[in-house]
Chains A and B, each alone.
Chain A
């Protein structure tokens, strides 16, 4: 077999597949969330518009930036303006936005999502100004400020062609009037009416920054795993290559040492993002060690947390990154075959992985003699079929083997005896998406983020009663408060936060007074929750904790495979007791009984599902025991009142 330098080979591939560049383009966020919000209708509307007006504009698709609350998203690049991201663009609105931007080269009002990369120096003279009232008080004053600015400019700088545009989202919340100057991205916050004339004279007229108004906080987010999401067409290998995908793999292959790749991952401190946080380098080493005829690597894309969408967004937005991660894992452990185990409920993710596999195979990134290195590897998709327990490693393996997904006792661990009895390494989607970045940029660059034994970044899907439901990627050690307030804009309706649930059905609640805790594996554990896969559910004062605990428990009872009694029987009994309490018919003895069942489930269940199913209950009992007691002491009358209040709370929210 003729071998070549993998890095040169990759450079050749990248230049052969170089994406065409266009002077004007329009890119629509076509992930599941975007499509649910109408991105497909938007796409046809855009096609029609371009045709009707004969616009020289290329229409492209991308994955998701993660700004779920602003869906559907459209990014537009005109001849002279830099690309601008627009949100909440309905098919009805898209023509005016597009025509403004493309034909008139004018930023469109009310839809712009400002960049989070705030500037601090006024290098270029300002061309446009974004304004947004972020105070959330009665009556949005954005329009008022816009006209004040326009009047001021007209009187002070009569010859200027500056435009003042109302933005949709600045990534800054509850900071009064926010103003961003473009293209410098110098951003002012808490701007008062009297500051407007200063801004116009000094910043616009003399090109000087006003230090007292300047927003200097850096963006708390850090996109490593989401590095390409939203920025490329996930179905286009050339675009992935142009953004450096497969460089980590090529570097690993060029060094010609799987041990070296494992060492790099070990040094980065990367730990499994699927829930348990097992050190990834160590897992690879344990799978590398045994001598065997065959070995396997599996990407666990069975995303089980019923309120989370990190893995799906990554697969839909950047499938090549995950495939590259799987290849690297395969190379490191000595496997020649990999599987994507994907939920059947994720058709778009499946379609995009399939496309990525085909394109990669065509280019020699998959198959024989990858990148001319002499190493061979292939991968294929296996579908899940709607069983949460199949996210557990041994059940997942049984499912790929074509059987019922029942867990089996460990040891033997899959790293020793896994798929068809061979050593197998299973990693989560996010873990695999981080690995290539580490091999490309080095362990140190990754480990520089994070704290203690939690290094790097973590993606969270923040939902519930939060203002901006979205994906967030932050360095480990960022506090929950920082994620909920500065990044996600706080709680809806200015309501009072009660707690944040992490870890889904296996996790627990972080109460309000613990929100400042830095998010690390250890800290969350200490609070009685877990990092989990990254779901974060925000709950406000109107939410009932007993009810939420019952929701998660019911989920686990429904999903229990029934193989072992502690989980099958214990879960069911506990749910009955819990429901009895929420009907106002419980007693203090029932709580004690629940605690006893929790303990035996934790100790005696066969797999992680049963062992952790009690966590949501124990955690609510720990922090919100008074709510349980209220049901018990208040009896049926209280339970009825609670129920009524809860539904009123919901209708209030829907009305707002």
Chain B
């Protein structure tokens, strides 16, 4: 049944094929390599594309379901691409105690998406993480890899506005 869902090898683009082949070759001799290969795929694409999973199943000679079973168990793996700008709310204990919950609701309200989702125009992706190690700056946000500390819900609109402005000038140019 699995085999029927696999498109012919020739129809997959060449880079995907190369990537998978390299990863599989690299991890071939390591025991229990599946998760490490999936990490490599996600590092390259920001998520695990279905085509990669299909090819991986074939290369490793395992059912596709075995791959999806792993992908869906672990929160870290994404099945859809992220947005252009990533906003992460620290929901570790210290940040929670200092109001990360309301930062998240404000972001959800402003962006119209929930934790773990991406806006329709793919501009923003919103997610939560556990302690990022700067509890002294709680509640902390990470906006495009930059950490911003001591936030209140009031700080959210200007942060989003700044990114939108940047995108706009970017487009204009």
Q: Interface residues, chain A, CB within 8 Å of chain B?
A: 31-33, 35-37, 68-69, 71, 305-309, 312-313, 344-345, 380, 382-387, 399-405, 420, 461, 463-465, 468-470, 501, 504, 535, 537, 539, 543, 548, 551, 561, 647, 650-651, 653-654
Contact = CB atoms under 8 A, between A and B. Distances in A.
A650 B99 contact: yes
Contact of A383 (B36, B149, B152): B36
A385 B134 contact: no
B113 interface: no
A36 B102 contact: no
Given A36-B132, A309-B133, A469-B135, A543 B93 contact: no
Interface in B45-80: 69-70, 73-77
Interface string B27-47: 000111111101100000000
A653 B149 CA distance: 13
Nearest to B97: A464
26 contacts: A32-B133, A36-B137, A306-B131, A307-B92, A307-B96, A307-B130, A308-B131, A309-B133, A345-B76, A382-B32, A383-B36, A385-B39, A385-B76, A387-B73, A387-B74, A461-B135, A463-B93, A463-B136, A464-B93, A468-B136, A537-B93, A543-B97, A650-B98, A650-B102, A654-B150, A654-B151
B34 A402 contact: yes
Given A33-B133, A306-B91, A420 B31 contact: yes
Contacts of A465: 97
B71 to A, nearest CB: 9
B16 interface: no
A650 B149 CA distance: 14
A307 B93 CA distance: 5
A404 B96 CA distance: 29
A401 B32 contact: yes
A647 B35 contact: no
A617 B134 CA distance: 27
How large, as a class, is the contact surface on chain B?
35 or more
Nearest to A389: B73
A249 to B, nearest CB: 25
Contacts of B135: 68, 307, 309, 461, 463-464, 469
B93 A36 contact: no
Contacts of B94: 307, 463-464, 469, 537
B133 A405 contact: no
A647 B33 CA distance: 47
A344 B39 contact: yes
Interface in B71-129: 73-77, 91-94, 96-99, 102, 129
A35 B149 CA distance: 12
Nearest to B30: A380
A382 B35 contact: yes
Top 10 nearest A-B pairs (CB, nearest first) are A307-B93, A385-B74, A386-B76, A402-B32, A36-B147, A386-B75, A463-B94, A463-B135, A306-B130, A385-B76
Contacts of B136: 33, 68-69, 71, 463, 468-470
Nearest to B73: A404
Contacts of A380: 30
Contacts, number: 135
B20 interface: no
Contacts of A382: 32, 35-36
B109 to A, nearest CB: 15
Contacts of A653: 98
Contacts of B75: 385-387
Given A344-B76, A469-B94, A651 B131 contact: no
Contacts of A384: 74, 76
Contact of A647 (B102, B138, B140): B102
A33 B133 CA distance: 5
A642 to B, nearest CB: 14
B36 A539 contact: no
A382 B38 CA distance: 12
A145 B129 CA distance: 44
Centre residue among A548, A561, A650 by max chain B CB count within 10 A:
A650
Given A309-B133, A344-B76, A647-B99, A402 B33 contact: yes
Given A37-B137, A405-B73, A539 B32 contact: no
B70 A402 contact: yes
Given A33-B134, A464-B94, A650-B99, A383 B39 contact: yes
Contact of B134 (A71, A305, A386, A651): A71
A402 B56 CA distance: 14
A548 B147 CA distance: 25
B46 to A, nearest CB: 14
